[in-house]
Structure 1
Amino acid sequence: MSDTDGKKPLGLGGAPRSGSVKQSFSHGRSHSVVVETKRKRVVVPAAKPAGGPGGSSSTGGGSSALGDPSRRPAGISEAEMQRRLDALRQAKAREQEDAAKRAAEEREREEERQRRREEIEAKEREDRQREAALRARAEEEERAKREAEAEAAARAQARKADVLGTQRRQPAKPAEADGPAPAVATPTDRSTGQARPKPGTTGPDAKPGLAPRKTDRERENRDTDRGKGKSDDARRTGKLTLTAALAGEGGRTRSLAAMKRKQEKARAKALGLGQKAEKQVRDVQLPETIVVSELANRMAERAADVVKALMKMGMMTTMNQTIDADTAELIIEEFGHRAVRVTDADVEQAIVSVADKPEDLQTRPPIVTIMGHVDHGKTSLLDAIRNANVVTGEAGGITQHIGAYQVKAANGAVISFLDTPGHAAFTSMRARGAHVTDIVVLVVAADDAVMPQTIEAISHAKAAKVPMIVAINKIDKHTADPQKVRTDLLQHEVIVEAMSGDVQDVEVSAKTGKGLPELLEAITLQAEMLDLKANPNRAASGAVIEAKLDVGRGPVATVLVQNGTLKKGDIFVVGEKWGRVRALVNDKGVTIAEAGPSVPVEVLGLNGTPSAGDVLDVVETEAQAREIAEYREKATKDKRAAAGAATTLEQLMAKAKADKSVSELPVIVKADVQGSTEAIVQALEKVGNEEVRVRVLHSGVGAITDSDVGLAEASKAPILGFNVRANATARSSAAQKGVELRYYSIIYDLLDDIKKAASGLLKNEVREHFIGYAQIKEVFRITGVGNVAGCIVTEGVARRSAGVRLLRDNVVIHEGTLKTLKRHKDEVKEVQSGTECGMAFERYEDIRPGDVIEIFEREEVERTLD
């Protein structure tokens, strides 16, 4: 009987599951116990719709699984059961939504596959059609080629047959007169077996061994064959090629010039004029350097003769080598010609500079330049005249470029306006504006009076010798004082009409529009007094107001036509660049066919970005334009190289020594237009002093490229982008190489940042502050320390960390630091005035009683550029 007999097994209610558990006790005893476990069964009834047949609401009577506690799983409350049912319903709804979404996506994918399949089929169909067309065209060309070859072969065969027939018809050569007649085989007649007489014999009496005599007809054929020349050769060779057949029966004949030369020689021989003709003397144009073969060509002499003459002079040259003008002139004189010296600058003679006739001149619109100080309302005034709103698009509220516009006044008069920037950095841009203008409108704010850039504008206008009109702007402000403006202008020799002068002045307001008609009337009146005229029926010439590199259109130049008419298709040269007018765009963005005098246009079609201020001239041919541009580029390079080279060795050494002591901040500048680039470079060159300066390694127009990043990496320089950005390749390259990219839209910010960066290169200023004096009373010799001075601080304080100077008879004999500072036996940091102490100098022993020690402190002060 087991231990479990008669005992109820341990277990839980429900379906039993038996098992045994072994229990261990002390002293090695153990006991096995039978255990039955009962697994809990959870029954989740299927959810039925509320109010449906055979079911009820989950919150209704006791017939539902949720409301019936007997049917609900044990240990689950009604709320928990409701939550589980809701979760099941939501999961089922989500499954349905996912299934619908998957079905929709599958339909979309199937439609996309079908669309791609149709596109591929259409493309393959087009490719098959294209291949079939190409194949048909190739077959057609091949068939035409075969027909042409067959026709040529037929013609050659016909010519060959004609030639062979002619050869067959020609008689045999006659026998030699003085030699024996050769034995000739006599043909026999097959029927009789007797000898048959040869053709040409007169009868049976003819001798068989003699050649027959020629008839008159055969003699004529012989003379004809001799006249043909080439036919004799063809007959003698007995071989006819296709080339010979196509060349004709007679072969290549003499030219008409050769026949004339033959006749002239015969006539001269008949007249007894066999002597050599007199040599023709030529005027040979001689540049600074010339190739030997070109020199021979200009003299109409053989190159070998010219080389021989150079060898006689001791110059071992070939016909492809270059010689100087002096040597070439000697050669020209030796050959009996005249040398005409020319220079490379003569290529610019292609530019037409003929004076216009008075009857060809026509009235043109005046060119008016708006000038003035920053924020005095120049662009706003021009906007009010143009009914535009340019000022809102300007960075920082200032004009960064020169703008060219054309407006029509109320009286019908057309006026061309130039809007120049007012910042001091744009001095050169304003100078260009003054040199292409007819009238200057000086804008002065009534609440600010005359400012530095206003004075500069007055100077430019006087230098250009153009009339001036003063526009007193911002008259609508309560702080406006136009009389003060007129009085201030007197200091600069500008006397307005209100003060009995000859300069017109108009009070205007760009905000309210007051005085604008009077201003336009004053401009029209001044233009009538100037009597401005130009000839529109000639080659155009003009000035480049602004130039930039557009991403989509390439190099674009804003040109103000000054004379003639610029048309689409004209070939022009502008500075060191040239091009053909591809398109002309006016100030309203409309493409036009031509631009007359005083019309500002954007010109497309240049081979590069010109400099602002260059002159545009129309030439006849593209070769002339290219030659002039190359000459100007070479001249500019030579001039730059000559300006940068030191004339003497002493100057070179002095410059190297000066550069060694000067710290440089290298930068690379890229801007949107040429005028801004020039202004920024000029402003950066003024930053610095005798110790530090800014060096512009490279400047250009357009976006920042990978080559700019490479240059910046090699020179450790930042890249300054003014209204431009780096492209994707340049950005990634700069991030990899650690090149700094700085973007600006206002020139003030750019200059301020560069000044701060350049200030960091300045050495700090060291200032000394004297803090005390001490007098040596006695000198003690201490082993291991050296000489120690027994001192008393007579003034100020003595510090261990301060610098010291040793004065003997008021003469500095040593400057250094203290090795020790003691008060009695203790090391101290400082000793006050009137206190005795001991001092020892660092690495200096020559101290004597009566010497004075000067104690001072140094302070470093950071310096900045003004």
Structure 2
Amino acid sequence: MSDTKNPGDKTLQVSSPKTLTLKRRGEQGTVRQSFSHGRTKQVVVEKVKRRSVGPGETAKDGGRDAGKDAPKEAARTAAPGPSATKPVSSRESAPPRQPARPGRGGGVVLRTLSESEIDARAAALADAKRREEEDRQRRADEERARIEAEARARAEAEAARKAEEEARQRQEAEAAESAQSAATPKADPSQAAPVAEKAAPAAPEAAEPAQASARPMRDMRKPPSLDDLAKPEPAPEKPAEKPTEAKAAESGKAATKDTARPAAKPSPARARATEEDDAPRGGRKGAAKVPAAPKTPKGADDRRKGRLTVTKALSGDDERTRSVASFRRRMQRLTGKGSSEPKEKIAREVIVPETITIQELANRMAERGVDVIRLLMKQGAMHKITDVIDADTAQLVAEEMGHTVKRVAESDVEEGLFDDADAPEVLRTRPPVVTIMGHVDHGKTSLLDAIRKTNVVSGEAGGITQHIGAYQVTSPSGGKVAFVDTPGHAAFTAMRARGAQVTDIVVLVVAADDGVMPQTIEAISHAKAAGVPLVVAINKIDKPEADPQRVRTELLQHDIQVESMGGDTLEFEVSAKTRDGLGELLEGLQLQAEILDLKANPDRPAEGTVIEAKLDRGRGPVATVLVQRGTLKTGDIVVAGAEWGRVRALISDTGDKIDEAGPSMPAEILGFNGTPEAGDRVAVVENEARAREVTEYRSRRKRDLMAARTGGTSRSLADMMRDLKEGAERKEFPLVIKGDVQGSVEAIAGALEKAGNDEVSARLVHAGVGGITESDVTLAEASDAIVIGFNVRAFKEARELAARNGTEIRYYNIIYDLVDDVKAAMSGMLAPTLRETRLGEAEILEVFNVSKVGKVAGCRVLDGNVQRGAHVRLIRDNVVIHEGKLSQLKRFKDDAREVVAGQECGMAFENYQDMRKGDVIECYTVEEVKRTL
């Protein structure tokens, strides 16, 4: 029967927690491992000290005081004796195993060792220590022999390299001589002897530095410790005049011959890197470089494979290679990043536009973006690198960083387009530009038709001019005059102002039978604002009720004094119907033009103003331009507002195609990429790139202005909430307007903006030139708008789409009909006005509580009458308590429709029962009155 749980187990087990152990103490050290590409790793190894157990020492004491008694035991066991000299076998040293005796705790009790067994064990330990010392000494001898062999190999390699170098130089010299001579002599075999003689004495000389760089001999009486073996050995010194590549090559050859191991051929880049790294720091570039040691053969890498052990760490046969820190220092020296010398600050001239991003500003200053952001944070502004800052902030940042700033504006792209002065010697006399202005239906267009001998009035809808036109007429004296015809309706204020800006002389047409009217006064204001002379033409003098003197008198109220009344303003009595006075009018215009001395330079790029613009389906965008300076030719690249194009054709006012248009000549231009706005200035540029640059700037500015007008992204949440609150109370009438010309659309939009009030207004979803398209109908459907066409029609596809979607399209050709209809529609959106009419008053005499009915007030009508269903107010102590309707009105037991003053009746209110004796009931009616704009 066994004491253990496993019958087959012969292991000695005890139940005591304190087992019989020998504590081993050791020393720790570090060993640096070397890998390829200059990588190293430092590991920790432990060297265990061995101990000897004395004869009188027990297992329990030995585990605690082994380190203290080790020297004493070693001295005692070193004495000669039979147990010290005789080898102890494993069987003799191990005592015979005896059966274990059971203890109290159910375990086993070990017997103690005898003195002879202790002596035998101490002798065995001493013998093992001696053998270990012999092994250590043998390894030291082998290491010393290896170092000497390597030194001899390096010396032989150096000698062989020198011999090969001398032979190579001699062969190169012979080859050069043979190339110069006509006949190539054969090589002399006797030259090999001097080479061998020169190579022989080189071996001892090369061996001297190798012997000097050998590892120092260790004391054989004291074995090398772990710390000594872990210390890196100094690299052997070599002659400075030999290149590193050659040494590495020769070392590899020698290693191949002597050690029979394959050598790794070092690359030139690796050799140069080692040579530069080993160079003394802080030295000059031209200083001598110390060559590096030969590279480790490939076979040496096999030793690093597998797990690091103490034997591998203490072998000491590896060579030092480049460390990571050394490689980093070399790269820092090459790139200059590691130098602590402060770089010189370079001050630059930074061009700063009106707005610039932080990233772009940093790039122009050649600074880091984080430095710019840090500087802005110091000033209390938090920004990202993609944020846009203004020119003032960018200037402060650039000057703070030591740079100079040159401010530029985006509008600089327009410099040189307009208003550059011409030399007086190149100026030529040009025809005058005359604008005809006045009130509607005073005969402006009829007068111009009589001068031009045309019939423009017959083509105008409603008998009024709704477009601005430009014409050129030849006067009886032979000179030419450019006329600009403006509408007289109140909605065309912008057209009249535009005509006054481009004119030289304003002709104010006043009907003799009508006198001065509102648009006449407006025309006078436009002429004064433009600073141009005024000529008065009193029209319709052929009518019986004509009174020219009345016109002269009324003009005095507006500071216009004609010549017949002692003033300086020219006046002419004309009749467009009988053509009376037209010749005198033209002569007077020529006289006024001679006084003004109008001149322009025709030999320069053209400049002008867009009088009118429209979109023709067959010809595309068409702009009527009045040339003011220079000569406009076919093929010129022109810019007008945010649009540009190449002039494809020039059409005169008579419809003829012309090749060029000089100063004061109106012409239609075909070739724009879009419809320009009326009033835009036109200029000829040198190339398309300049045209795109100018138009892109103008388009961007136009978008910014539109965003600013509509609120843009700078509006706060409070602003949007306020607008929503106001919008809930304000109604809008959405419209999509398409017109034939830009001026008409502009006039319609201006008239509709003035038609609204605080409660309702017209909102222009879209306004453009040209026919009504499918996109216009789709936009109107999305915004619940009405499409209005002025002198245009919808395309077939747009009409079909509008019919399917139920979108309303209205057509107009007279502007005041359009404005009146829109006003009427907007008036229907206005809330009606409530008008209150008082009927009478009654006093409550008693209040009765009737079942299934509620409270009923017995009243007497004081004045007026009381009607059933009328509005009532319950007044108590002169305070209105309730407002509602009268639900029941009875006279005795019968329902009454009306009760007059002095009679008594019963009243009941809708949803109200709190009535008291003495309250007064006021009866009235409410009437709704429709409002109009």
Question: TM class by shorter-chain length?
Answer: 0.5 to 0.7
Q: C-alpha distance in 2, partners of 1:314/1:847? A: 73
1:502 corresponds in structure 2 to 568
The counterpart of 1:708, out of the listed 776, 788, 794, is 776
Query: Aligned in 2, Cα 1:462/1:808: closer, same or farther, shift over 3 Å?
Result: same
Partner of 2:577, secondary structure, is coil
Aligned counterparts of 1:321 and 1:857: Cα–Cα separation in 2: 64
CA shift digits 1:394-449 (9 cap, x unpaired) = 01111111000000011101000000000000001100101111111111111111
CA deviation string 1:674-727 (max 9, x = no partner) = 111111001000112221111111111111111111111111110111111111
Aligned CA distance change for structure 1 residues 177 and 818 (closer, same or farther; 3 Å): closer
Aligned to 1:782: 850
- The equivalent residue for 2:525 is 459
- Note the C-alpha offset of 1:642: 2.6
Alpha-carbon distance between aligned partners in 2 of 1:778 and 1:330, rounded to the nearest angstrom: 86
In the alignment, the residues of structure 1 paired with residue 403 and residue 884 of structure 2 have an alpha-carbon distance, to the nearest angstrom, of 85
Which residue in the other structure is 2:596 paired with?
530
**Aligned position for 1:768:** 836
Equivalent in 358, 362, 386 of residue 428 of structure 2: 362
Q: Does 1:732 align with 2:800?
A: yes
- Measured after TM superposition, the shift of residue 515 of structure 1 is 0.7
Q: TM-score, normalised by structure 1?
A: 0.64
CA 1:326 to 1:842, structure 2 compared with 1: closer, same or farther past 3 Å? Answer: closer
Query: Cα deviations across residues 577-618 of structure 1 (Å, max 9, x unaligned)?
Result: 122222111101111111111101111111211111111112
Work out the CA distance in 2 between the residues paired with 1:323 and 1:455: 48
In structure 1, distance between residues paired with 2:396 and 2:834: 71
| C-alpha distance after superposition, 1:300-323 (max 9, x if no partner) | xxx8x97898899999x9999999
Q: Any residues of structure 2 matched to 1:809-828 within 5 Å, and which? A: 809-828=877-896
Per-residue deviation at 1:808?
Answer: 2.7
Say which one has the larger Rg.
Answer: 2
1:699 is aligned to 2:773: no
Q: Which of 857, 870, 876 pairs up with 1:808?
A: 876
Residue 293 and residue 773 in structure 1: after superposition, are their counterparts in 2 closer, same or farther (change >3 A)? closer
Mapped contact 1:776–1:792 kept (Cα < 8 A): yes
The answer as to whether partners of 2:737 and 2:766 remain within 8 angstroms in 1 is: yes
Q: Which amino acid aligns with 1:566?
A: L
Task: Name the stretch that deviates more: 662-671 or 647-656.
Answer: 647-656
1:762 positional shift: 0.6
SS for the counterpart of 1:812 is strand
Matched residues in 2 for 1:852 and 1:550: separation?
Answer: 74
Partner of 1:449 in structure 2?
Answer: 515
Secondary structure in 1 aligned to 2:415? helix
Q: Which residue of 2 aligns with 1:758?
A: 826
Q: What is the aligned partner in structure 1 of residue 672 from structure 2? A: 606
Q: Which of 807, 811, 816 is the equivalent residue of 1:748?
A: 816
The residue that corresponds to 1:414 in the other structure is 480
Give the whole-Å Cα distance in 1 for the aligned partners of 2:494 and 2:776.
Answer: 26
The offset of 1:643, in angstroms, is 3.5
Alignment partners' CA distance in 2, 1:581 and 1:335: 50
Distance in 1 separating the partners of 2:615 and 2:389: 41
Q: Indicate whether 1:673 and 2:733 are aligned.
A: no
Aligned equivalent of 1:391, options 430, 442, 457? 457
Separation in 2, partners of 1:281, 1:810: 85
Secondary structure of the structure 1 residue equivalent to 2:700:
helix
Matches within 5 A, 1:558-573: 558-573=624-639
Q: Give the residue type in structure 1 aligned to 2:638.
A: F
Alpha carbons 1:348, 1:628 under 8 Å: kept: yes
How many residues of Structure 1 are paired with residues of Structure 2 in the alignment? 605
Contact 2:615–2:622 (Cα < 8 Å) also in 1: yes
Seen in structure 2, the aligned counterparts of structure 1 residues 663 and 306 have a Cα distance that, compared at 3 Å, is closer
Structure 1 counterpart of 2:867: 799
Letter in 2 for 1:775: E
TM-score, length basis structure 2: 0.60
Name the CA distance, whole Å, in 2 between partners of 1:594 and 1:720. Answer: 38
Confirm or deny that 1:852 pairs with 2:920: yes
Q: Is the 8 A contact 2:869 2:887 kept in 1?
A: no
Quote the residue 1:583 is aligned against.
649
CA contact 1:367–1:416 (8 Å) conserved in 2: yes
What is the SS of the residue equivalent to 2:755? coil
Deviations 1:270-324 (A, max 9, x none): xxxxxxxx9998755443566899889989xxx8x97898899999x99999998
Q: CA deviation at 1:670?
A: 0.8
* Counterpart-to-counterpart distance in 2, 1:335 and 1:798: 89
Q: In the TM superposition, what is the alpha-carbon distance from 1:487 to its structure 2 partner?
A: 1.1
Deviation string for 1:160-203 (max 9, x for gaps)? xxxxxxxxxxxxxxx99849x99xxxxxxxxxxxxxxxx98999
Which residue of structure 1 lines up, in the alignment, with residue 911 of structure 2? 843
Relative to structure 1, the CA distance from residue 686 to residue 291 in structure 2 (aligned partners, 3 Å threshold; closer, same or farther) is closer
- C-alpha deviation, 1:832, in angstroms: 3.0
Q: Match of 1:488?
A: 554
In structure 2, the CA distance between the partners of 1:314 and 1:391, relative to structure 1 (3 Å rule), is closer
Change (3 A) 1:490 1:290: closer
Distance change in 2, residues 1:863/1:200 (3 Å): same
* Aligned partner of residue 791 in structure 1, secondary structure: strand
Name the residue aligned to 1:620: 686
Identity of aligned residues (%): 61
Aligned alpha-carbon RMSD (Å): 3.5
SS for the counterpart of 1:521 is helix
Residues in 2 aligned to 1:290 and 1:840: alpha-carbon distance in whole angstroms: 76
Q: What's the secondary structure of 1:416's corresponding residue?
A: strand
* Offset at residue 768 of structure 1 (A): 1.4
Cα distance change on mapping 1:835 and 1:484 into 2, 3 Å: same
Match of 1:830 in 2: 898
Match for residue 448 of structure 2?
A: 382
Query: Against the structure 1 CA distance between its residues 851 and 617, is the aligned structure 2 distance closer, same or farther, given a 3 Å change threshold?
Result: same
- Measured in 2, the distance between the counterparts of 1:731 and 1:522 equals 53
- Specify the SS of the correspondent of 1:686: helix
Q: Distance in 2 between matches of 1:694 and 1:384?
A: 40
Matched to 1:692, the amino acid is V
Deviation (angstroms), 1:663 = 1.1
Check conservation: 2:465, 2:488, Cα contact below 8 A. Answer: yes
State the secondary structure of the residue aligned to 1:720: strand
- What is the match of residue 610 of structure 2? 544
CA gap of 1:579–1:799, structure 2 versus 1, over 3 A, is same
In structure 2, stretches of 5+ residues that fail to align are: 1-163, 172-181, 193-285, 287-343, 378-382
Q: Does residue 664 of structure 1 match 2:702?
A: no
Pairwise CA distance, 1:647: 6.5
Q: Is the 8 A contact 2:872 2:922 kept in 1?
A: yes
Deviations 1:707-765 (A, max 9, x none): 11111111111011111111111111111111110110000110010011000001111
Task: Label 1:741 to 1:508 Cα distance change in 2 as closer, same or farther (>3 A).
Answer: same
For 2:698, the equivalent position in structure 1 comes to 632
| SS state at 2:703 partner | helix
Alignment partner of 2:921: what SS? strand
Opposite residue 537 of structure 2, the aligned amino acid is A
Q: Distance in 2 between matches of 1:661 and 1:581?
A: 51
Q: Secondary structure at the match of 1:437?
A: coil
Tell me if structure 1 keeps the 8 A contact 2:362–2:369. no
Letter in 2 for 1:347: V
| Alpha-carbon distance in structure 1 between the residues aligned to 2:587 and 2:575 | 16
Aligned twin of 1:341 = 407
**Mapped contact 1:288–1:324 kept (Cα < 8 A):** yes
1:719 aligns with 2:787: yes
User: Cα distance, 1:833 vs. partner?
Assistant: 3.1
For the Cα contact (< 8 Å) 1:549–1:673, is it kept in 2? yes
Check conservation: 2:358, 2:372, Cα contact below 8 A.
no
Question: Any gaps of 5 or more consecutive residues in structure 1?
Answer: 1-174, 183-198, 211-268, 270-277
Kindly indicate whether the alpha-carbon contact (under 8 Å) linking 2:827 and 2:932 is maintained by their aligned counterparts in 1.
yes
Retained in 1: the 8 A contact 2:771–2:794? yes
